[in-house]
């Protein structure tokens, strides 16, 4: 069989992590619901408990179905180790609380995912962790803050909802010079379009709820990196109990089998849609890293192999009322809070990523009231373009 390194992503999506635990000729990983795992031989039980031997003891810690999911993502990210949690926020909070101690300093950007931002602004300061949130695209400012002292550098690219791009290799190198651990949230890009570990990062994480699972029917989070860092995060997660459910793990595992196919289609459609919208008179601005007009296009071209399925755009009529009238006109889009599914999904930041902010706060963050986030599904591209065309008539 080909080794992990020589096989292509599309093949890995289908086969990685699937080999273990197949019983009685089953071709699919079973959903193991058992909470505990019994041993007739006490010495074998002890060896598993001491980590000297592979196996499972109790479902809050590890489970065979969950392990298969972690193994698939680990191979896709080309990492030494991986561990999971019940949600994306579960893995993000587990990583931050496992790796940080009072007196440490975190450098990050203003445009991280809303929940991550709440950990930075509300929770970590309570534990005397210093947080510096920089302008997302101001690389000089981020580097200047890193030099002042940085134990953990936390990045996300492209960001939500205006698809800002940070130079992962450049900032990782600056972070490492200050001795920082570098974490990248790779949810928007997926391992198909971007590999932060290859760009030098120490840890890469996903809300598997989004593109990895791809079907909006299971929550989950996963983080990959070196064994020593992943072990620390796992240890915190086994204690805080944010365990991924075996049924969720199975749905995510099955979803990933089509990840490369889906992402290829979403990359292609999103670029065509972004180009179409940019030329439409009713559209004021389009945010998509694949457009040459996008501020991060050059960096994105360097570090991404595809620009992803996420874009956002601003209607010429810059009011929430315009959004109110526009969104229900789309036939092939769920108006919903999530993203990354096979169906196209739309939503304004006011009800999705920035629901906890006031209109004034959103405006201060550079998020216009008529912004619409568009998560491109796998529908036929021409049908999506025609749907947008009819919805924009009269705007």
3-state secondary structure of 91: helix
Q: At closest approach, how far in Å is the CB of 19 from ligand PLP?
A: 27
Out of 111, 113, 164, 250, the active site residue is 113
Is residue 349 within the footprint of ligand PLP (CB under 6 A)?
A: no
Phi, psi of 260, rounded to the nearest 5 degrees: -65, -40
Is residue 221 within the footprint of ligand PLP (CB under 6 A)?
A: yes
Is residue 210 within the footprint of ligand PLP (CB under 6 A)?
A: yes
Cα separation, 350 vs 368, in Å, equals: 10
Q: At closest approach, how far in Å is the CB of 232 from ligand PLP?
A: 20
88 or 196: CB nearest ligand PLP: 88
Out of 210, 237, 262, 373, the active site residue is 210
210 or 354: CB nearest ligand PLP: 210
CA dihedral (153, 159, 164, 170) in degrees, to 10, reads 30
Is residue 94 within the footprint of ligand PLP (CB under 6 A)?
A: no
Q: Which residues contact 91 (CB under 8 A, 6 or more apart)?
A: 83, 84, 85, 205, 206, 221, 222, 223, 233, 237, 242
User: In this chain, which stretch among 93-101, 120-128, 183-191, 364-372 interacts with ligand PLP, using CB under 6 A?
Assistant: 183-191
266 or 381: CB nearest ligand PLP: 266
Is residue 185 within the footprint of ligand PLP (CB under 6 A)?
A: yes
Cα separation, 224 vs 206, in Å, equals: 9
Is residue 289 within the footprint of ligand PLP (CB under 6 A)?
A: no
CA dihedral (51, 54, 60, 65) in degrees, to 10, reads 160
Q: At closest approach, how far in Å is the CB of 57 from ligand PLP?
A: 27
Is residue 88 within the footprint of ligand PLP (CB under 6 A)?
A: yes
Is residue 207 within the footprint of ligand PLP (CB under 6 A)?
A: yes
143 or 185: CB nearest ligand PLP: 185
User: Distance between alpha carbon 122 and the CA centroid of its chain, in Å?
Assistant: 22
Identify whether 80 is a catalytic site residue: no
Is residue 209 within the footprint of ligand PLP (CB under 6 A)?
A: yes
Sheet-wide strand order for 334-335: 283-287, 310-315, 371-375, 345-347, 334-335
Q: How many residues bind ligand PLP (CB under 6 A)?
A: 15
User: In this chain, which stretch among 182-190, 247-255, 343-351, 383-391 interacts with ligand PLP, using CB under 6 A?
Assistant: 182-190
DSSP 8-state code for residue 332: S
187 or 381: CB nearest ligand PLP: 187
| Site map 149..168 versus ligand PLP, x via CB under 6 A | -------x---x--------
Cα separation, 3 vs 370, in Å, equals: 49
- Give residue number: closest CB to ligand PLP: 88
Identify whether 332 is a catalytic site residue: no
CA dihedral (227, 229, 232, 233) in degrees, to 10, reads -100
The first and second tokens of residue 360, run together, are 């004034």
Identify whether 268 is a catalytic site residue: no
Out of 60, 80, 257, 268, the active site residue is 60
User: In this chain, which stretch among 69-77, 81-89, 275-283, 298-306 interacts with ligand PLP, using CB under 6 A?
Assistant: 81-89
Q: At closest approach, how far in Å is the CB of 50 from ligand PLP?
A: 33
Q: At closest approach, how far in Å is the CB of 207 from ligand PLP?
A: 3
The residue from 62, 65, 84, 87 that contacts ligand PLP (CB under 6 A) is 87
Which CA distances in Å does 313 have to 50, 185, 210, 350?
Answer: 53, 23, 20, 14
Identify whether 234 is a catalytic site residue: no
Alpha helices (H) in the chain, listed in sequence order:
9-15, 42-49, 64-77, 88-99, 114-118, 139-147, 168-177, 190-193, 227-240, 246-256, 259-278, 297-303, 320-326, 359-364, 381-392
Cα separation, 59 vs 238, in Å, equals: 9
72 or 210: CB nearest ligand PLP: 210
75 or 375: CB nearest ligand PLP: 375
Cβ(141)–Cβ(134) below 8 Å: yes
Cβ(181)–Cβ(229) below 8 Å: yes
Is residue 214 within the footprint of ligand PLP (CB under 6 A)?
A: no
| Residues annotated catalytic, as ranges | 60, 113, 185, 210
Q: What residues line the site for ligand PLP (CB under 6 A)?
A: 87-89, 113, 115, 156, 160, 185, 187-188, 207, 209-210, 219, 221
């Amino acid at each position: 069989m080909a080794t992990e390194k020589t096989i292509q992503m599309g093949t890995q999506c289908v086969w990685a992590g699937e080999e273990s635990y197949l019983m009685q000729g089953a071709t699919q990983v079973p959903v193991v619901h058992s909470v505990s795992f019994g041993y007739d031989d006490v010495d074998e039980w002890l060896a598993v408990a001491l980590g000297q031997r592979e196996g499972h003891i109790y479902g809050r810690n590890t489970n065979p179905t969950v392990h298969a999911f972690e193994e698939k993502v680990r191979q896709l990210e080309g990492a030494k180790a991986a561990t999971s949690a019940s949600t994306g926020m579960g893995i993000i909070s587990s990583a931050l609380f496992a790796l940080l101690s009072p007196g440490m300093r975190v450098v990050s950007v203003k445009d991280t995912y809303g929940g991550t931002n709440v950990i930075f602004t509300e929770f970590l300061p309570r534990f005397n962790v210093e947080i510096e949130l920089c302008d997302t695209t101001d690389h000089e400012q981020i580097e200047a803050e890193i030099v002042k002292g940085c134990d953990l550098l936390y990045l996300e690219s492209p960001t939500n909802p205006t698809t800002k791009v940070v130079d992962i290799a450049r900032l990782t190198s600056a972070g490492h010079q200050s001795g920082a651990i570098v974490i990248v949230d790779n949810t928007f890009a997926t391992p198909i379009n971007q590999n932060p570990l290859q760009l030098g990062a120490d840890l890469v994480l996903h809300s598997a709820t989004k593109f990895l699972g791809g079907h909006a029917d299971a929550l989950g989070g996963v983080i990959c990196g070196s064994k020593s860092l992943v072990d620390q995060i796992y240890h915190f997660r086994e204690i805080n109990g944010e365990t991924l459910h075996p049924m969720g793990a199975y749905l995510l595992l099955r979803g990933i089998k089509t990840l490369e196919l889906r992402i290829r289609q979403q990359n292609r459609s999103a670029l065509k849609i972004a180009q179409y919208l940019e030329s439409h008179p009713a559209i004021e601005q389009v945010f998509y890293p694949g457009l040459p007009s996008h501020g991060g296009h050059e960096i994105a071209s360097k570090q991404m192999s595809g620009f992803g399925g996420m874009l956002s755009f601003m209607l010429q009529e810059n009011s929430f009322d315009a959004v109110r009238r526009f969104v229900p006109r789309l036939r092939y889009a769920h108006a919903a809070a999530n993203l990354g599914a096979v169906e196209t999904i739309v939503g304004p930041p006011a009800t999705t990523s920035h629901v906890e902010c006031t209109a004034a706060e959103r405006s201060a963050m550079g998020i216009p009231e008529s912004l619409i986030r568009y998560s491109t599904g796998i529908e036929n591209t021409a049908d999506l373009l025609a749907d947008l065309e009819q919805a924009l008539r009269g705007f």
